[in-house]
Amino acid sequence: MREPISHDVGPPPIALSMDVWKTAYIKYRRFWTNLAKTTHISNDEAEDVVHAVVSSIMEHSPKQFQSLEHLRNYVAKSVLNKAIQDKRKRNKSTGWSESLEAEFSICVEQADPALLEQQEAFREAVARLPERDFEIIKLRFYSGFRFAEISEMLGVPISTLKSREEAALRRIRTWMRRRGFDV
Amino acid sequence: MTQKPMDRTVIDDLVTGKLSPDESLRILDLIEREPDLSRELDMRVAVMDAVVSGRADDARQKQAQESGITRTIKSVREVIASYGTGRQLAIPLALIGALLLVGIGVLRSLPLQSAERYALLKVESPEVDVNVRGVGEDDINTAHMLFRDGKHRQAILLLERFTKAYPQSPMTAYAEYSLGAMYLASANRRVLGVLQWFDRSTVEAGLEHLAASLDCSRSPRIIEESHWLRAKGLLMLNDEVRARQELAVVAAQHGVRESDVRRLEGRIIRGE
């Protein structure tokens, strides 16, 4: 008797419940907003683009997503394309629909406790970095300086800065994994 | 032919929105194909979130307050470990001592200010400090925040980046004024509590930015402040003639600085 042909094509798609959307929004909204701002629009306009895209995907897209990362990338590309499109047509995005605005406005309080725990752990991991590594991380991820600019500021070669940043991220990752987070 | 692995620091730029839209799309495509890169992206997004939310700073302060003695001992150990043993410290310490002696000699040749004049002229921070909204708002608002945190060089660099990127922006006049004020505030020099002067090149840079602000500003407040700070800057350089001209413009505005002008003229220019 022949073995049945396996039709296993990978992990099952994630169910796009409101909770999953809220988790994704909490985790990635800054990232998505920063992407929209690459088209030289203001913070408010960028947020409107993100909200419009998320609304649209929630309401209209039949697409299935294999993971949160898959959803992250899909929204990221959609945000970029919409921001570019809006800029060309000089149209502004209108943001959330009213019902979604209400739903997402108290997002953080209703977030998945596991996500909040992970975010708290990340903050602690970053806070534990040695001063000079913390400064580099802040300059890169908060102020958004390029390595060339930080090098001029601190008088440290770019290659050294890159090594320190990599070491800092490794340290954060190790600390998180020791606490049971898969990063 | 194997492809060169992607420099992961590009992912930082993606996360912080520093790439162009097309480059962002290209990197996202690469990330989609590579699970490792996807995890790197997630990691950096989480780090950015931790830093931007300010909670990492709070956690850091909390750590600093807890078990102070333990952390002090640990910090000292870290410093010694990074600089080597006590024997190795001797050479840098000797060099520092020598430099100090040379420095004192240099200081003697500087245009030192009297305590009163220094206190009257020094600029602490931009007087006009408002939350702006518009394209590039993050750079301006962040620069002011960095300046308040004592990170003067970073604040200045951020504003200079803004003025280069958006020379025609409605916020450029405010950015140039802020730069002028920050440069003047960074010009203060004080050693051992008794030797005080203003660094010439820093003051001159500040004056240039204030002039640029006046070229494009329509706000009466910014115009008044820019002239006022130019007057102070010129006095820092002992250029009383041009300082008087600036003060005359400020006085003519009949704005908030009117009484300050009279006081400054009385105390410094007329030598009362």
Backbone angles phi, psi at B198, to 5 degrees: -120, 130
* B37 shares its domain with B127: no
Residue A25: both structure tokens together = 């929004």
User: For each of chain A's 183 residues, which pLDDT tens digit applies?
Assistant: 444 444 445 566 777 788 888 889 989 999 999 999 998 888 888 999 999 999 888 887 767 788 889 999 999 999 999 999 988 887 777 777 777 777 777 666 667 788 888 888 888 899 889 888 888 898 888 877 888 888 887 888 999 999 999 999 999 999 888 888 888
Q: Is B3 part of a structural domain of the chain?
A: no
Task: Tell me the domains of chain A and their CATH numbers.
Answer: 18-110 (no CATH), 113-178 (1.10.10.10)
B145 in A contact zone (CB under 8 Å): no
CB atoms within 10 A of CB A18: 13
Task: For an interface test with A, give the residue of B47, B57, B80 to mutate (most A CBs within 10 A).
Answer: B47
Identify the closest residue of chain B to A141 by CA–CA distance: B48
* B49 shares its domain with B120: no
Strand partners, B190: B196
Q: What is the DSSP string of A19-32?
A: HHHHHHHHHHHHHH
pLDDT tens for residues A116-141?
Answer: 888 888 888 998 898 888 888 988 88
Task: Out of B21, B39, B45, name the one closest to residue A27 (CB).
Answer: B45
* B238 shares its domain with B161: yes
Please state whether B105 falls in left (phi above 0), alpha (psi between -120 and 50) or beta: alpha
Q: Is the ipTM of this complex over 0.90?
A: no
- Here the CATH number for the domain that contains residue B152 is 1.25.40.10
**pTM for the predicted model, two decimal places:** 0.60
Domain boundary among B86, B108, B130: B108
* B254 shares its domain with B175: yes
Q: Is B2 part of a structural domain of the chain?
A: no
Residue pointed to by tokens 């022949």: A2
Pairs across A and B, CB distance < 8 A: 146
Task: For an interface test with A, give the residue of B7, B10, B12, B72 to mutate (most A CBs within 10 A).
Answer: B12
* B76 shares its domain with B122: no
DSSP-derived secondary structure letter, B3: P
Q: Work out the minimum CA distance from A131 to partner chain B, whole angstroms.
A: 10
Contact B146 A183 (CB under 8 A): no
Instruction: Provide the domain count of chain B.
Output: 3
CB atoms within 10 A of CB A124: 20
Listed by number, the residues of chain A in 10-49 with a beta carbon closer than 8 Å to a beta carbon of chain B are 27-28, 30-31, 33-44
Residues near B263 by Cβ (< 8 Å), separated by ≥ 6? none
* B147 shares its domain with B257: yes
Q: Is B1 part of a structural domain of the chain?
A: no
Residues of chain B with pLDDT under 50: 272
Its domain, for residue B40, covers 9-65
Contact B25 A83 (CB under 8 A): no
In contact, B143 and B158? CB cutoff 8 Å: yes
Q: From residue A69, how far is each of A75, A78, B177 by CA, in Å?
A: 10, 14, 44
